[in-house]
Each structure stands twice: as structure tokens, then as C-alpha cells.
Structure 1
Amino acid sequence: MRNEKKSQGIEFLRRARVTETGFRKFIQKLDDDGKLLRVTQEIDTLDEIGAFIARVDYDGSDKSILFENPKGSDIPVFANTIGASYRRIADVFNMPVKQAVPGAARRMKEVMQNGGLPPVRVSNDEAPCKQVIMTGDEVDLSILPILRMNPEDGTKTSAFLEGRFMCAPACSKPAEGAQNLSYHRFEITEKNQGSVWIFRQTGDAKSMEECWNAKIDDPSSTWDRESAKPFPMAFIMGVGPEFVLAGANSALPHKNADFAFVGGLRGEAVKMVKCETIDVDVPADAEIIIEGIFKPFNWAKQGRFASFNGFYDESRRRPVFDVTAITMRKKPIYQHIHIGRPLNETNNIAAFFRSVKVYQDLIQVLPNITDVFVDPSAGCGFTVHIAMDKKRVGEPKMAMMRAYTALGGFAKHVFVYDSDIDIHDPHERDWALAHRFMADRDLLIIPNVIGMAIDPLAQGIMGKTAKLGVYDGTPEMPINTRTFMGLDCTIPLGLKVMERVLPKPEVEARIDEIWQAVMGEAKN
């Protein structure tokens, strides 16, 4: 360790005003605006913090959470940078909540067209994330309050830290002068190692394949170990909401200067500093940086994990991430991006940018599209709601098919409404479905289309998926006639599906106690 001995008593200045910029300024503003829940009670990083976050999300709160006393750690945990609502996303793009999707699409286009605001390089002495530096044998991930977010995370395989997963933005260098921000789930299996799910079609997947000179799923017989090179990457924690959103923004090109995009979005240049052990730049004022490499064709079996669809994904082969350094502030805050039951921060962010993707694609052929809402609790892409100012017969069906292709087969159900319907309001949607839809006239079903393997029903022979589209139709109908449609949303008998993510009663009982105490303090 250089610059600082590893502290055994890292403390957060509770209730103290923060005078810094970036992440800590963001937290202070949340606190000043009454948008921060402070949990002062001791709370376990195994399941309890995850359950508390889920309680906040399902309660409809848009507050961020600061866990000041995580069990076994002196490092506080900050959660819900974005949360499960659009409010903070709209704030980042400086748009009204109800115009978040079309507004974000326009703002992103503006920033990308003008190139954003280039980052500024600073020295280690000017970078708070370099106040503590651990390399070699000093690297120990167990000093961080890494969570087990859901009770069954990490099961069905050996796990060093009991199914603890790090979920945070990651940064890589796909080309000189470029930064690629993304997200991956990192299961901790050793003090300096773990397995990471590199999501297909992300910039990091492309960069890894370029370094390895092979596709991730290529058979071993095609691997060229002599030409393959390690792929470097860094996890970054303790950054503002602009970074969190940029990591999930698939509209940003693979070899884009993502820091310039973030700078342009917030109107302030990103201060960046080079990592200690890898050739990757990171935000200088971040709280914690985890540096490491993926050695070519080094695999491990990652444990089960609560996936976006509300089920536990089965354990699978994933590349091994070797941690080469941990750098951080002297008194850091651990930033956590949550995933678990379907209404959660990760789903909300992913669904938002899929909404933007569909909107951007649709307006190319249907400029009368007024809004798109990809429901985060419905697979964050499986169900798409579209509002339009309909001009011609057939436009709703065109919108359905275009939404399906825009998400590359991810969409499973597409609903189209008139522009007078608030597609974010389930009561409005149900009203339109009840009063403007006729099954024999307004239902579009396309069988045997490409779907998603992670769809719990897309398994085996029965797994051939179909696309369903619903629109409101036209008013010309005979008097006193209507069509009945039933949608069976039960699991087919005899079909084995993945296990659903559900709360654990004993954990919920503990959260009941903490919840009552925290809510009582918040009112005072």
C-alpha cells in the first residue's frame, strides 16, 4: 500500500456538510432537498440491505439511501443513485418527468453532435480516488461492504464471500482517447478475484473479443493463446448520476469518448486520472476504483443471480476478473447499483434507455410517435407501451413491428395507444385496453419469431416465442357487439421454469423493524 496505511476505522462524517463537487455534492443536495434516507441502524450486508432497498422501491419512494452502519464495515453504503423512478433521470437531462424519453433522445443527440466537453487529466495528487492505493498482496476485496442483494444469489456454485456481487459502472479503453462506460455483475470468489458477466453486444464484450482475438463463445479449438492479450477494465464507485446513466446508454458508440459525453451532459469537464496497474482512465473524484484484467480464456462458474426478469438466472460460465489494484479515498462511500425483484434501479435504467432506443427508431418512420414506455417491472424490454397521434389505419401495427426489431427481438408484447393516454399510468392503460381494444380486430400475433433465451418460457421445444401487439383500433363497430379475449398468464402445467425472486420472511421481519425506525426519523 502506498500513500496511506489501510485504515481499520474508515468513518463517514455523519450529518456533516459536504463541500466537495461530484458525488458528495450530489449526496448533500439530496439531503438538503429531503431526498435522502439515512439508515443509522446496524444492517447486514447479507440480504438485509438488499431487502431494504427493495422495500423503498416498492413503496414508490424516489429517495436515495445512505446506510451509515453496515454490519462488519466502517464504509457506508449509498444506494439508489437513480432509483426506480424517472425523476432523477429527468433531472440529469433537464427535462420534465413526463417528457423524459423524447427529451432525453433530443438532448443526447445534441451532446453527441457537438462532441460533448473533453475531460481534463489531473495528477495523482489532485485525485481523491488515489488517497489510498493497494496493489499486489495488499488487495483485499473483503474490506468493502459488498452486498448479497438477494437470498439465493451465488448459490449452486462455490462462493468465497457468500454470494456477494458487486454491481457498479465499469470503464475500459477501447481506443486511444476513448472511454467505454458499461455495467457488469461481478461475483467475489477470492480476495482478489471473481467472475464477471460481460453482457453480449456491449462495448466491453467487443473490446474483450478484440484483445482475445476470438468471440467469447467460440469453441476452444479456435483459440489462439499466443496472440491473445489480457483485457483491462476498472469498476468505478462513487460517481454522479450522469456516469451511472452513461454506463447503460447503448446509444453511445463502442469507441466513444464517454467522459466527453458526461461532461457535455452536465456542463462540467470530467477530471480523469490514469489507473495504477492498467492503461485505463477513471474519474479522479470517484470514491473507490477496482482495477483488473481478464486473462484470455480463463473461466469460472458464476453462481445464480437475480436477473432482470424477476427469476434467478442459472449458474453459468463467465470470464475471471483478476483484481490488480484497489484505490480509494481515505474515508470512502461504497456506491451500490441495485438489482433484484423486478422493480429496481438497474431495471429502471435499462428500461429507460430501451424506451429511448425504441423512440429514436420509431420516429424515423412514424414522426407522430409521442412517447414510449418500456416497463421496468415487465422484463425491462419484454413489454413496450407506445403513444401516438394516429393518422392512418395500419400505423399501430407498423409501430408494433418496428418496436420489436428496434430491440433486436427483446420485445415480447407491444401495446399502442392514442396520445391522450398516459402510458406511464397503469390505470390509463387498463382503461384504454377495456374500452378501445377488440381482440379479433386489434390483436397482432406473430408466432415463432426470435426471442430471448432468458425468457423463462423460452426453453426447450415449448420455448418458441411469439410476439403480441395490441392497439386501440377504429371506432366503426356494430352496435352491442364485442369480442372477448383472455390472456392466460399462468405457468403451463408440466413446464419447469426458473425460480422466482421472492422476499425471505425472516429478512423481511428484520427490515420491518429498521423500516419503522427509519421512517420515524425521516418524519422528525
Structure 2
Amino acid sequence: MAKVYQDLRSFLSTLEENGQLVRIKDEVNPEPDIAAAGRAAANIENAPAVFFEKVKGYPYSVVTNVHGSWANHALMLGMPKTATTKEQFHEINRRWDKFPVKPEILNREDAPCKENTIDNPEEINLFEILPLYRINEQDSGFFLSKASIITADPNEPDNFDKLNVGTYRIQVKGKNRVGIQALAFHDIAIQLEAAERKNKRVPICITVGNSPLVTYMASTPVMYTQNEYEFVGALQDGVPTQIVKSDLYDNLYVPAGSEVVLEGYIEPRVREVEGPFGEFPGSYSGSRRQCVITITRVTHRTNPIFENLYLGIPWTEIDYLMALNTSVPLYQQIKRDFPEVQAVNAMYTHGIGCIISTKVRFGGFGKEVAFRLLSTPHGGSYSKIIIIVDEFVDPFNLPQVMWALTTRVRPDKDVVVIPNCPGMPLDPSSYPAGMHSKLIIDATTPKDPEPNPREVELLEPPVGYEKYEILIRELLAKM
């Protein structure tokens, strides 16, 4: 059974035990020190989480880069920190099939996130509760970049399958007011539209500092009717995640181990300028009119730890966080219709770039697989550059992918551009924002009836190479 974490603190302890967390004991300035450390950590191989014990002007500590390396990612899954990216992909895929695993609902008195309560809206001051700082210099203010947000479907408020746990950027606008970016293809936008048709508020909980797999699933593109908490239990290898009922709303449930829980509502039909913000493509997003949330209740753990992540030119923590949790659900959705598909690598900029390996059943099959990707809820809006390779090409091995591109692609027949498609508006090359072309590169070996004028026989590795690979690895380990 894999090691399971029901809160952030237990995971930080494991990271520290495994040499994957460093503590900054000296007092630091919120800006630019915390973001600078996040960028610096991202530049280090097998980067650790960085824990700031003292932040000037605030009573509480800050941690960043918690998911910011494959070593940390492996420990999140209870795997050895040396587990490869491909091994982690297949392990997540194995556990994925355990969905759904119903969460364990705790009583309020047993939930750590309820240790302290601020129930008077006039006493709520986010600038005192959270050690806030700008992540990038030209951000328009303080952002929560790693919160998990819980909302329900207004038309079916008690439908647990439609309880949404998502990650959306949150801009602090006042002592008890924040902005949220809800893009049209996000699940929360479906709920927002349904509520605003009736001019109704959207009840909402914003949770900060969660167990690593809650954070992971909150940023995972699953289907609208699939509950994220039930996926957390699956990825915990069948161990239910612990949740507790919101104080304000009987139909909303928050992670029981959260460091901070903000409860309130989205104001209907109200929009204010939000942004700019340094976003995951490595550039500023610009400003848009976005929804506004009023916070009316706060609960938090004693001495809460504020967790945030740094976003910069890849790779940074957000790229590790969104890598396999984008790849696996896309793989699951495509393989359901095309069992020939072997693996999906959507690790690049949240799936804007995607590499799929597949067996080829007939001529043009690679393009058909690409079209299936573009018909998924996430791939349709995000994926822009799709590369299809044969089953013997490892999509996580970029030298192999480049080999396929350079030896299998005829640009006149294997490269397709589809104009005027949905695009990710935060992608700075989309124009107008939210519209893009799609590029498909079919780097598979042609199959009848596709024209293939030359026979291609692959080279086989020499007999006995496996034993020498084992021997060489053993010798390296002894050095």
C-alpha cells in the first residue's frame, strides 16, 4: 500500500526525511525573496520544496515548490523518489482505474481545518491571515496560485458527482474580496452561467495548503460528472481522502486537512478588472473583467502554512504539477475509443503540446487519433501541436520522438493545419485570445492504403544487451 497523506504537513515531513525540503530560517522579505527562491529551486535538478519559517510582516510561514520536481512527485505517490517519469505515468494510470473511491467525511471537531474560526465578516482580513506577495514583478496584486476551489452545480446542488474541485487563480482585492478567473471551458464556468441566469450567488469555498493529491486532482482535467475527491482516493491506491462539510453550505465539502478555508459566494453578474498575472505559458496574461467573490467566513489550522507556487518560463513547479495529471486523463479518454494507443505525453504547457504513441491499424490512423484528442474537453481548447508516433517510440523520450519526426514525416502529406479552432486564451500566440490553429504531425510508419513507396525495416538491438545494461547500471551505482 502506498504511503498516504491527508494534509500538507505530513507530506512536508516526508519530503524533509527524504532530503526534498530545505528550511530558510532567517527572516525574508515577501518580495522578491519567496518568488526568487521558487525560480531558483526550479533551476535545480530534483529540486526540493522551500520552507520559509519567518516572513517579514507576517506571523505565519510559507512553503513553495512542493510539487516542483519528479522526486517530489514520486514521493507524493508513495513511490521511491528515483522513479522515472514513465514509471510514474503507468502507476497513476494503474490507480486511475480504482475510481471511484468514496471520501471519508469527518465530523467538524475532528477536522484540523476547523481549529480556528473567524465568523464575523467585518473581522476578516486576508492581509493578516495569509502571507501575501506578488509572484512576478508585474502582477497586478497578490494572487493565490495553488488554491483548490470547491463549488456545486446550481441546478443539482446535492449531486456529489457534480461537486467541482478546481484550481483557478485568485486575486486578493480587499480584506474580504477576491477575484477569480473562470474561463469559458472551465467546469466552474458551467456552474456560474447556470446561477447567473437566475441572478443567484454561487456558494464557494477556497482552500489553501492541501494534501498533495487534492492539489493534484484540483488541477486535473476530469469529466464534469466525475468527482475529484473520489479520484484522490483512487490515486491514494484505494485509501479514501478525508473531507468535512463546509460551515456555511451543507452541499459543499472541503479537505479536512486544509491549512486555510475561505468561504463565501461569487457575486452574480458582477465583473471587475483582474490581472495581469504571470501565467503558466511563461508570460503575463493581460487584464480581463472577471468574477468577484465576497468572503464571509474563515477557518484555519493553528499557525497555518501558506502554500503558493511560482510560475515562470518552464520548467517550474506548475509544469510538474500539470504534467502527468494532464497526460493520464487524456490517455484514458482516447484509449477508451482507440485501444491501440500506448501512452500520451501532454506534459508541455498543460497539454498545449501533446505527443501520442499508438499502434497503427490502417492508413491515416495517426490523424484519426489526433482528431480524437481534439474532441476531448481539455484537448479541444488547450492542445495546439499534436505529434503522433508509432508504438515503439517512447513519447516521454524526446530523442526518440525527434528520431520519428526526422525519419517518418513527409511534410507534404503528414503535416496538417486546421484553422480557426478553440485555443487557450493565456497562450500568447492565440489571436484573438481564445482562438487558434491546430497543428497535427503524423510521424507514424505508413500503413496500407496510405502510400509507402519504401520498405522500412527497423534495427534490432544486439542479443544480450539487457544483461550489459544491468551490469553497467550496477557499476555506476557503486561509483
Structure 1 distance, partners of 2:407, 2:75, is: 31
Q: Determine the structure 2 residue equivalent to 1:108.
A: 96
3-state SS of paired residue (1:133): strand
Structure 2 distance, partners of 1:105, 1:45, is: 39
Instruction: Write out per-residue CA displacement over residues 156-193 of structure 1, whole angstroms, 9 at most, x where no aligned residue.
Output: xxxxxx44445311122443262421111111111111
Query: How far has the Cα of 1:117 moved from its partner?
Result: 2.9
Structure 1 residue identity aligned to 2:359: D
Q: Residues 278 and 447 of structure 1: is their aligned pair in 2 closer, same or farther, counting only changes over 3 Å? A: closer
Answering whether residue 177 of structure 2 is matched by residue 193 of structure 1, we say yes
Structure 2 distance, partners of 1:187, 1:397, is: 41
Instruction: Write out per-residue CA displacement over residues 372-410 of structure 1, whole angstroms, 9 at most, x where no aligned residue.
Output: 11133xx32221111223454322222222222331143
8 Å Cα contact 2:383/2:438 also seen in 1: no
3-state SS of paired residue (1:363): helix
Q: Determine the structure 1 residue equivalent to 2:428.
A: 456
**Structure 1: 4+ residue segments shifted above 6 A:** 93-96
Q: Residues 386 and 259 of structure 1: is their aligned pair in 2 closer, same or farther, counting only changes over 3 Å? A: closer
Structure 2 distance, partners of 1:408, 1:464, is: 11
Q: Residues 421 and 91 of structure 1: is their aligned pair in 2 closer, same or farther, counting only changes over 3 Å? A: farther
Structure 1 residue identity aligned to 2:150: C
Answering whether residue 354 of structure 2 is matched by residue 384 of structure 1, we say yes
Which of residues 234, 241, 245 is equivalent to 2:216? 245
Question: How do 1:56-67 and structure 2 match up within 5 A?
Answer: 56-67=41-52
Q: Residues 441 and 60 of structure 1: is their aligned pair in 2 closer, same or farther, counting only changes over 3 Å? A: farther
Answering whether residue 222 of structure 2 is matched by residue 234 of structure 1, we say no
Structure 2 residue identity aligned to 1:188: V
Structure 1 residue identity aligned to 2:133: L
Structure 1 residue identity aligned to 2:441: G
Q: Determine the structure 2 residue equivalent to 1:117.
A: 102
Q: Determine the structure 2 residue equivalent to 1:98.
A: 86
Structure 1 distance, partners of 2:227, 2:444, is: 43
Q: Determine the structure 2 residue equivalent to 1:171.
A: 150
3-state SS of paired residue (1:405): coil
3-state SS of paired residue (2:261): strand
8 Å Cα contact 2:395/2:401 also seen in 1: yes
Question: How do 1:126-275 and structure 2 match up within 5 A?
Answer: 126-134=110-118, 135-143=120-128, 144-154=130-140, 162-174=141-153, 175-176=157-158, 178=160, 179-212=163-196, 214=197, 227-254=198-225, 256-266=226-236, 267-275=238-246
Structure 2 residue identity aligned to 1:263: G
Q: Determine the structure 2 residue equivalent to 1:321.
A: 293
3-state SS of paired residue (1:455): coil
Q: Determine the structure 1 residue equivalent to 2:64.
A: 79
Answering whether residue 254 of structure 2 is matched by residue 282 of structure 1, we say yes
8 Å Cα contact 1:294/1:319 also seen in 2: yes
Instruction: Write out per-residue CA displacement over residues 354-385 of structure 1, whole angstroms, 9 at most, x where no aligned residue.
Output: 32233123323432221111133xx3222111
Structure 1 distance, partners of 2:432, 2:254, is: 43
Which of residues 244, 247, 265 is equivalent to 1:293? 265
Query: How far has the Cα of 1:477 moved from its partner?
Result: 5.9
Q: Which runs of 5+ in 2 are unaligned?
A: 456-479
TM-score by length of 1: 0.74
Q: Determine the structure 1 residue equivalent to 2:363.
A: 393
Q: Determine the structure 1 residue equivalent to 2:18.
A: 33
Q: Determine the structure 1 residue equivalent to 2:459.
A: none
Instruction: Write out per-residue CA displacement over residues 217-245 of structure 1, whole angstroms, 9 at most, x where no aligned residue.
Output: xxxxxxxxxx4221111111222112112
Structure 1 distance, partners of 2:75, 2:285, is: 31
Q: Which runs of 5+ in 1 are unaligned?
A: 1-19, 155-161, 215-226, 480-524
Answering whether residue 58 of structure 2 is matched by residue 88 of structure 1, we say no
Query: How far has the Cα of 1:321 moved from its partner?
Result: 0.9
Two-structure CA RMSD over aligned residues (Å) = 3.0
Structure 2 distance, partners of 1:419, 1:276, is: 51
3-state SS of paired residue (2:146): strand
Which of residues 280, 289, 306 is equivalent to 1:308? 280
Structure 1 distance, partners of 2:432, 2:63, is: 41
Q: Residues 182 and 395 of structure 1: is their aligned pair in 2 closer, same or farther, counting only changes over 3 Å? A: same
3-state SS of paired residue (1:322): strand
Instruction: Write out per-residue CA displacement over residues 258-313 of structure 1, whole angstroms, 9 at most, x where no aligned residue.
Output: 43443344244444333334443222322111112112112211120122222211
Q: Residues 405 and 281 of structure 1: is their aligned pair in 2 closer, same or farther, counting only changes over 3 Å? A: closer
Query: How far has the Cα of 1:320 moved from its partner?
Result: 0.8
Question: How do 1:3-42 and structure 2 match up within 5 A?
Answer: 22-42=7-27
Structure 2 distance, partners of 1:450, 1:229, is: 29
8 Å Cα contact 2:274/2:287 also seen in 1: yes
Q: Residues 318 and 440 of structure 1: is their aligned pair in 2 closer, same or farther, counting only changes over 3 Å? A: same
Structure 2 residue identity aligned to 1:419: E
Structure 2 distance, partners of 1:52, 1:83, is: 12
Q: Determine the structure 1 residue equivalent to 2:340.
A: 368
Residues matched between the structures, number: 432
- Structure 1 stretch 323-332 or stretch 398-407: which is displaced more? 398-407
8 Å Cα contact 2:384/2:436 also seen in 1: no
8 Å Cα contact 2:146/2:208 also seen in 1: no
- Structure 1 stretch 265-274 or stretch 187-196: which is displaced more? 265-274
Instruction: Write out per-residue CA displacement over residues 296-336 of structure 1, whole angstroms, 9 at most, x where no aligned residue.
Output: 11221112012222221111101111111221112111122
3-state SS of paired residue (2:173): strand
Percent identity of equivalent pairs: 24
Query: How far has the Cα of 1:460 moved from its partner?
Result: 5.1
TM-score by length of 2: 0.81
3-state SS of paired residue (1:361): helix
8 Å Cα contact 1:170/1:183 also seen in 2: yes
Structure 1 residue identity aligned to 2:193: E
